[in-house]
Amino acid sequence: MGDEVKKGLLGIVVDETTISQVMPDINSLTYRGYAVQDLCEKCSFEEVAYLVLNGDLPKKKELKKFKKQLEENRNITINLREIVKHMPKRSHPMDVTRTIVSVLGLEDKETNNNSPEANMKKAIRIFAKAPTAIAAFFRARKGKNVIPPKKNLSFSENFFYMCFGKVPNKEIVKAFDVSLILYAEHSFNVSTFTARTITSSLSDIHGAITGAIASLKGPLHGGANEEVMHMMNKIKKPENALKWINKTLDKKEVVMGFGHRVYKKGDSRVPTMEKYFKKVSKVKSDKKFIKIYEIVKKVMIDRKNIHPNVDYPTGPTYHLMGFDTDFFTPIFVISRITGWSAHIMEQHAANKLIRPLSKYSGPDHRKVMLLNQR
C-alpha cells in the first residue's frame, strides 16, 4: 500500500451499489438502470420513489398500495407538531429538519429493529411524515396555523397544500415533481456516504438519515441551491449580471451552482430542470431570473468552461413557486430520503464497518516532561 493520500477519497471506489450510477457513454444519471430524464417525463415522483426503494418501477396495483401506505403515514403526532411549533423562529429549516427526523426516531416503536422489513416500514414512515413536519415549520415560523395533510392528493400536491393552503396549477406541480425525481438519488455523494458510514456501525435508519441531513446542509452539497438564490438576489436585475459575474471571476471567488465532482461535461440533470424552470417562469410571467440565469451561465462556460449543476436551475424555480430560500435544501431532503433509505438498506444487506486509514503528519515521538520542567 503506497503512501499517497487521496484527499476527499478522490477516485477511490469503496463499495458496490445497485441503486444508481452516472453512465458516461450516455452522459446520464440512471436509477436502477433507468435514465433519470426519461423518468422525469414518463413517471410521477411516487413511481420513482418506489423504484429507488424497491428496485423496479411499480405496476398499477403496486403503485396504488404504495400511495395508500404514504397517505396512511402522513400524519404526525401532536407531540412532534408542538415541538415544531416551539422551535425558535430564527432556526435554519435544515436544523429543524434534522431534529424532526431525530424526534421521529424517538417516537418510532421499531427504531432499534434493523431487519429489512422494519427498515422498509421505517423508511416509508420517515418519507411520509418528514414533509408534514417541515411544512408545519414553514407555516409556524410565519405565525400561521399548521395545515394537516389532505387525502387524495399526490406527494407534491400535498406538500404545496400543507405549505400554502392550496394546490397550484398542474404545470407547477409537475415541475416540482421533476425536481424531486432529479434530487432523489445520486450514488456515493457526501450525505449518502455519511448515511452508509453511520449504518456500517449497525446504527439505526433515523440516526443515519439525521447524519445525512447534517451533511447535506453544507453549501458544497445540498445547500448550493440556497446559495444560488442568494447570488441571484445579490445581482438583483439582469442589467447587473454581466458586470457582477465577471467581477466575481476576476476576484477568483467561487460561483455556487456550477461544477461537479462527477460530471465533467455538465450535469446530466440540468437540461431537464432548466426546461421546467422555463415553464414555471412562463406561468409566473417572470423574465428577470431566466435572464440572470442565462447571462451567468454563458460567462461561466465561456470564461471557465464550467457548466451548471442541478442546483443552479432548481434554486430560482423553487423561489418562483413561493418557497423561502432557506427551505430549498429541506425540499431536497424530502426527496433524498428515498435514496438515503435505499443505501442504508443496501449497506445493511452486505455490511462491513467503514473504517479508512489516515497518514499521520504530526510531530515525531516526544517525551513527556513534568509540569515544573516544561
Angle at Cα 48 formed by Cα 47 and Cα 54, nearest 5°?
90
Residue 281's identity, in one-letter code, is S
Q: Are 20 and 192 in contact (CB under 8 A)?
A: no
The 3-state DSSP class for residue 213 equals helix
Rg (CA), the chain: 22
- Catalytic pick from 311, 319, 343, 348? 311
Spell out the long-range contacts of 365-374 with Cβ–Cβ below 8 A and sequence spacing 24 or more.
none
The 3-state DSSP class for residue 17 equals coil
Q: Are 46 and 184 in contact (CB under 8 A)?
A: no
Distance CA 356, CA 15 (A): 13
The DSSP call for residue 300 is I
The yes-or-no answer on residue 319 being catalytic is no
- Which distant-in-sequence residues (6+ apart) come within 8 Å of 75 by Cβ? 129, 132, 148, 149
- Which distant-in-sequence residues (6+ apart) come within 8 Å of 283 by Cβ? 169, 171, 172
Residue 304: CB atoms within 10 Å? 12
Helix (H) or strand (E) holding 217: none
> Grid coordinates representing 176?
416540482
The yes-or-no answer on residue 311 being catalytic is yes
Residue 172 buriedness (CB in 10 A; 0-12 / 13-18 / 19+): buried
Half-sphere exposure of 56 (CA within 13 A, CB side): 4
Phi-psi region of 27 (alpha: psi -120 to 50; beta: other; left: phi over 0): left
Phi, psi of 3 (to 5 degrees): -90, 0
The 3-state DSSP class for residue 265 equals coil
- Catalytic pick from 186, 206, 260, 343? 260
Residue with cell 461535461: 265
What amino acid positions are annotated as catalytic residues?
260, 311
